[in-house]
Amino acid sequence: MSDSSTFHGWGRTAPSVGRPVTATANGVPHLVRRAGPRGLIARGLGRSYGDPAQNAGGDVLLPLPTEIGAVAADGTVRASAGTSLHDLMAALLPRGRFLPVTPGTRYVTVAGAIACDVHGKSHHRAGSFGAHVVDLDLVIASGETRTVGPDRDPDLFWATVGGLGLTGVITAATLRTIPVETAYAEVSTQRLPDLDAVMAEMREGDDAVTYSVAWIDTLARGAALGRSVLSRGEHATRELLGDRGDLLTPPAAPRLAVPFTPPVNLVGSLGVRAFNEAWFRKAPRHRTGEIQPLATFFHPLDGVAGWNRVYGPHGLVQYQFVVPDHEDAALVRILEQIAAARLPSFLAVLKRFGPGNDGPLSFPMAGWTLAYDVPAHPDLAPLLDGLDDQVVAAGGRVYLAKDSRLRAGLLPAMYPRLDELRAVREKVDPDRVFRSDLSRRLEI
Ligand SMILES: Cc1cc2nc3c(=O)[nH]c(=O)nc-3n(C[C@H](O)[C@H](O)[C@H](O)COP(=O)(O)OP(=O)(O)OC[C@H]3O[C@@H](n4cnc5c(N)ncnc54)[C@H](O)[C@@H]3O)c2cc1C
């Protein structure tokens, strides 16, 4: 392996050069003890959009080898930190089990999902990934391995859940799983004419469904502001599917790939407006009972490997924030500014979160979260800086797994329990062995 590599996040906006290092779980303590002055950060599959999994001038630990244990009688499963959720689902589904929380891609590692405390369409019911971790093994700065969980060294556990790799290297975790009868979802789709309508529908109806998320047309303005396609689902039962052959076949690997980065951004504004219009119009007014493979329902983008390349050499930014439940007005104002900016975005989703957990750097909190993908462009900076201020004023925060540009000064207001994470780091990593471009940028 070469001595240095360029690392970037999924958005490809802020590359830096670090030293890739590899190890099995047993070799991690040695690597941690010998980390140089620029420290070490563990990396998963690089699906965070910004810079949490890179470390300019320092060590970047690549994912540990995949290892998946048997499903225990209580439905828990033990997996190595580097196991992808794709591989885990492939092992679980034939046994009639699934993960209670899956993000919008299954190409993330178990450790990456814990370190960002990822959420899925089930957050209002199931909470985030960390809520389903029974325990995890963590190599701290001294090289010692600690097994921690909600009942065992809870401060270190919760600092690690959402802690962006800054408390140590996770080497394995035990996770809870849920029973499923099939690898399909029963989906309902509803076209809603504006933001009020989609918010009212989610407020009234989400509690009764397991999975819920709305695609939003961020280019629609005026009376159509926030027009949406709301998609909800449940795990399909065996009875519903009848005789369809093997009902527990796991999702396949992608068959298509974007083979190289085109010299220009292919997500142009005219094309996106037409796409959004067509996407909205083609959605059924209200359809229920559609059967979709779980991969189609949860991970539609995983069908094309390397889709982020279509944004060209400058990459993309995903801006995701949450504001508390009662801050509807802030959400409306922010969406108005996004729509007025006319930036080409075909991927924007709205979700209603349930309550957050004890992780001081965990993102979810009860309220509304909007995730907005947009090509990187200098015009974005003033827009997003302005939105950050409004998010803070509303008592909300941005999601650090998606961030590459937040100003450090806003972090304590967004994450008021930041000092709890710092106190834990002071105890287990006083010399700050674990560092990343993000931790330096945000002065964590
Ligand atoms: C298409 C797409 C859809 C997405 N949808 C969602 C979504 O719906 N919900 C959501 O919450 N997120 C979503 N994400 C973000 C993604 O789920 C998270 O960023 C996730 O953490 C990425 O995991 P990874 O394995 O790629 O980790 P990386 O991005 O490589 O790293 C993420 C963090 O994990 C830390 N880490 C990695 N391995 C270890 C380890 N062994 N020990 C300690 N720390 C470690 C890194 O240091 C870093 O801080 C999406 C991303 C994409 C590209």
Measured in Å, residue 394 CA sits from the centre of ligand 1 at 26
Which atom, in ligand 1's list, is nearest to the CA of 108?
Answer: 25
Which protein residue's CA is at the shortest distance from atom 21 of ligand 1?
112
In angstroms, the CA 9 to CA 406 distance is: 15
Measured in Å, residue 55 CA sits from the centre of ligand 1 at 15
In angstroms, the CA 435 to CA 37 distance is: 10
* pLDDT (0 to 100) of residue 270: 63
Measured in Å, residue 222 CA sits from the centre of ligand 1 at 36
* Domain assignment present for 306: yes
* pLDDT (0 to 100) of residue 269: 65
* Domain assignment present for 317: yes
* Domain assignment present for 301: yes
Q: Determine the residue of 108, 114, 400 to mutate for testing ligand 1's pocket, defined as the one with the most ligand atoms within 8 A of the Cβ atom.
A: 108
With b for 16 or more beta-carbon neighbours within 10 A and e for fewer, the 350-366 pattern comes to: bbbbbebbbbbbbbbbe
Which protein residue's CA is at the shortest distance from atom 18 of ligand 1?
48
103 lines ligand 1 (CB under 6 A): yes
Measured in Å, residue 401 CA sits from the centre of ligand 1 at 6
* pLDDT (0 to 100) of residue 265: 85
45 lines ligand 1 (CB under 6 A): yes
How many CB atoms are located within 10 Å of the residue 73 CB? 6
Q: Determine the residue of 48, 124, 170, 363 to mutate for testing ligand 1's pocket, defined as the one with the most ligand atoms within 8 A of the Cβ atom.
A: 48
Dihedral sign for Cα atoms in the order 352, 345, 402, 176: positive
118 lines ligand 1 (CB under 6 A): yes
104 lines ligand 1 (CB under 6 A): yes
Q: How many domains does the chain have?
A: 1
Greatest Cα pair distance, the chain, in angstroms, is: 61
162 lines ligand 1 (CB under 6 A): no
Q: What is the CATH number of the domain that holds 290?
A: 3.40.462
* Domain assignment present for 308: yes
In angstroms, the CA 357 to CA 127 distance is: 8
In angstroms, the CA 401 to CA 47 distance is: 9
The answer to whether the beta carbons of residues 187 and 291 sit under 8 Å apart is yes
Q: Tell me which residue range forms the domain holding 230.
A: 184-407
81 lines ligand 1 (CB under 6 A): yes
* pLDDT (0 to 100) of residue 324: 98
Measured in Å, residue 369 CA sits from the centre of ligand 1 at 18
Complete edge-to-edge strand list for the sheet that includes strand 16-21:
5-7, 16-21, 59-61, 40-42
From first to last of its 444 residues, what are the pLDDT tens digits of the chain?
A: 458 999 999 999 999 999 999 999 999 999 999 999 999 999 999 999 999 999 999 999 999 999 999 999 999 999 999 999 999 999 999 999 999 999 999 999 999 999 999 999 999 999 999 999 999 999 999 999 999 999 999 999 999 999 999 999 999 999 999 999 999 999 999 999 999 999 999 999 999 999 999 999 999 999 999 999 999 999 999 999 987 778 999 999 888 888 888 888 888 766 888 888 888 999 999 999 999 999 999 999 999 999 999 898 999 999 999 999 999 999 999 999 999 999 888 889 999 999 999 999 999 999 999 999 999 998 899 999 999 999 999 999 999 999 999 999 999 999 999 999 999 999 999 999 999 999 999 999
In angstroms, the CA 118 to CA 50 distance is: 15
301 lines ligand 1 (CB under 6 A): yes
